[in-house]
């Protein structure tokens, strides 16, 4: 699915182009990313029903961010996920990309609630998510199988539109 071009303070989010795929696949193989994403092919990232953006920083592909929407009006919300390449980590790029997408989802798409589900052990990501306003809901036990073949716990986090730290 195509999407708009979104501008943050440090980043531009635009629909992924075919030319972005090699850089994104390389990032998925980086130990700092693979530990949490455990995907070695782009097809597992570009899932049907998701809108996928390349994160551009300093004119370079720095990562990927995506969202999916629940269309049932009684349960309407969005879910997001992202990764940032190792050399772009620790610079606020993930925070800016997430905040930019969240403003789009709440202001333009009208979502009152957004969820994200990092691994319980992914403290760095959880810190970023809390920085923009996500709150911990609870632990989902044996939620996701990691590359070691074992099931690991996930942390369900949610953000209400009025809690977004702009």
Q: Tell me the per-residue pLDDT of 56-91, one tens digit each, with 9 for 90 and over.
A: 999 999 999 999 999 898 999 999 999 999 999 999
Closest listed residue to residue 3, CA positions, set 72, 49, 62, 40? 49
Residue 145 pLDDT grade (very low, low, confident, very high; cuts 50, 70, 90) = confident
State the Cα angle at 12 between 7 and 17, rounded to 5°: 130
The domains located in the chain, with CATH, are 6-163 (3.40.630.30)
Assess whether pLDDT exceeds 70 at residue 97.
Answer: yes
Q: Tell me the per-residue pLDDT of 4-58, one tens digit each, with 9 for 90 and over.
A: 999 999 999 999 999 999 999 999 999 999 888 876 566 555 666 889 999 999 9
Q: Is 101 helix (H, G, I), strand (E, B) or coil?
A: helix
Burial class (CB in 10 A: 0-12, 13-18, 19+), 31: exposed
Task: Tell me the angle at which helices 123-131 and 93-103 cross, rounded to the nearest 10 degrees.
Answer: 50
Query: Are the beta carbons of 166 and 136 closer than 8 angstroms?
Result: no
Rounded distance between C-alpha atoms, residue 95 and residue 8, angstroms = 10
């Amino acid at each position: 699915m195509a999407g708009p071009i979104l501008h943050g303070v440090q980043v531009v989010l635009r629909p992924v182009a075919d030319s972005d795929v090699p850089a994104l696949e390389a990032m998925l193989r980086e130990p700092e990313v693979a530990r949490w994403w455990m995907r070695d092919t782009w097809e597992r990232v570009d899932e049907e029903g998701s809108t996928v953006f390349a994160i551009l920083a300093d004119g370079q592909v720095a990562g990927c961010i995506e969202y999916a929407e629940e269309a049932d009006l009684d349960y309407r919300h969005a879910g997001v996920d992202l990764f940032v390449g190792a050399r772009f980590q620790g610079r606020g790029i993930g925070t800016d990309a997430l905040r930019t997408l969240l403003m789009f989802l709440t202001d333009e798409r009208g979502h009152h609630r957004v969820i994200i589900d990092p691994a319980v052990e992914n403290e760095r990501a959880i810190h970023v998510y809390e920085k923009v306003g996500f709150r911990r809901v609870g632990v989902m036990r044996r939620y996701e199988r990691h590359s070691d073949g074992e099931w690991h716990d996930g942390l369900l986090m949610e953000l209400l539109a009025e809690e977004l730290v702009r």
